[in-house]
A = this chain, B = another copy of it.
Amino acid sequence: MHRVKVRVVEDALDANNTIARANRADFDAHGVTVINLMSSPGAGKTTLLEALLADGIDGVRVGVLEGDVQGSMDADRLASLHVPVTQLNTDPGFGGECHLDANMVRSALPSVPLHDIDLLIIENVGNLVCPAEFHVGEDARVMVSSITEGEDKPLKYPLMFRTCDLVLVNKLDLMPHLEVDLDRFLHNLDAVHPDVERMLVSARTGEGIEAWRTWLSELVAARSGAAV
């Protein structure tokens, strides 16, 4: 029975990858760079996006696809920044999916203005497990890890930390008030994903936001260059 279960899951992931490639082809056709933004619930994805998008990214037109189990609170927050935001809820017909998959993203694409953007940021459902298993056609995975969650998280949720291209260590402003060892966190991060790019950030103070903006800008430029 266990083997059957594994095979079913592998089939589902294989189907997901097929659809992810179709998404990717659409993104490529429109010259859109795509980020899959992931974290625990409440790690600060939306607040970081607000900090990033308040001043925009020079020469880069950004769109956001908001994944949530239910509601549109995050999309409402971002819409005030005059960025095209598409809401994708995972709850219809189900108790609520704990992640986005390629088919959900595909179903939302008709509502995403791919012609008018250079960068699409997909904010995934807050969860450190399943989102890491489902590619949606992204160019890069950015994960947000709030330092308030403790230094052991890379060891406990290794797949997520292993598959991301950039780790934003958020809520750095709270460090003086925590009993968390930042060096130990970074050591654990290197244990599961040696030398993965990381930035120390705070959505509240703005620390590290410019570095993240530059990283995104360079990613878009590299993709555009590659497409020429």
How far is it, in angstroms, between the C-alpha of A146 and the C-alpha of B157 when the chains are bound?
A: 19
The answer on a CB contact under 8 Å between B40 and A126 is yes
The answer on a CB contact under 8 Å between B129 and A128 is no
This protein's copies in its complex: 2
Q: Is A171 an interface residue (CB 8 A)?
A: yes
Stretch at the interface among A21-29, A78-86, A94-102: A94-102
How far is it, in angstroms, between the C-alpha of A130 and the C-alpha of B152 when the chains are bound?
A: 22
Q: Which residues of B contact A130 (CB under 8 A)?
A: 98, 130
Q: Is A113 an interface residue (CB 8 A)?
A: no
Partner of A129, one of B125, B155, B179: B125
How far is it, in angstroms, between the C-alpha of A107 and the C-alpha of B130 when the chains are bound?
A: 22
Q: Which residues of B contact A179 (CB under 8 A)?
A: 204
The answer on a CB contact under 8 Å between A73 and B148 is no
- Min CB–CB distance A88 → chain B (angstroms): 13
* For the complex of A and B, 8 pairs with smallest distance between CB atoms: A42-B149, A98-B129, A148-B148, A40-B41, A95-B133, A177-B177, A42-B150, A98-B130
